Amino acid sequence: MDHSESPSAPTRRTRRTVIGLAILAAAVVAFGPGHGVLRILSMPLRRPGWDVWVGTFNGVALITVAALPLAALAVWALARRRLAAGVTSAWRMSLAEVGIVYGTVPWVWITMLPGDESGAVVSLAPLRDLHTVFEAGATFQILGNLLLFAALGLLAPLRFAALASVSRILALAAGCSVLVETAQYVLRLDRVSSVDDVLLNAAGAGLAALASRPWWRAPAEASSDRPRPAPVPGR
Rounded to whole angstroms, the Cα distance separating 47 from 116 reads 21
The pLDDT score that the predictor gives to residue 1 is 45
Q: Where are the beta strands (DSSP E) in the chain?
A: 121-123, 192-194
Going 46 to 49 to 51 to 54, the CA torsion angle's sign is positive
The pLDDT score that the predictor gives to residue 32 is 47
Angle CA(212)–CA(91)–CA(96) in degrees, nearest 5? 45
170-to-139, 141, 145, 156, 208 alpha-carbon distances in Å: 22, 20, 14, 12, 10
Tens place of pLDDT per residue across the chain (235 aa): 444 444 455 566 666 666 655 655 555 455 444 444 555 555 555 556 667 777 788 888 888 988 999 999 999 999 999 999 999 889 999 999 999 999 999 999 999 998 877 777 888 888 888 878 777 766 788 888 999 999 999 999 999 999 999 999 999 999 999 999 999 999 988 888 899 999 999 999 999 999 999 888 765 555 444 555 555 555 4
Q: What count of Cα atoms within 13 Å lies in the side-chain half-sphere of residue 5?
A: 4
Helices (H), 137-212: 139-147, 150-159, 166-186, 195-211
126-to-154, 196, 218 alpha-carbon distances in Å: 26, 6, 36
Contact of 173 with 206, CB cutoff 8 Å: yes
The pLDDT score that the predictor gives to residue 221 is 53
Say how many Å lie between the first and final Cα of the chain, rounded. Answer: 36
Q: Rounded to two decimals, what is the model's pTM?
A: 0.73
Q: Whose CA is closest to 123, among 175, 199, 57, 174? A: 199
The pLDDT score that the predictor gives to residue 118 is 72
Bridge partners of 192, per DSSP, are: 121
205-to-165, 220, 232 alpha-carbon distances in Å: 11, 20, 43
The pLDDT score that the predictor gives to residue 235 is 47
Q: Whose CA is closest to 74, among 61, 60, 57, 91? A: 91
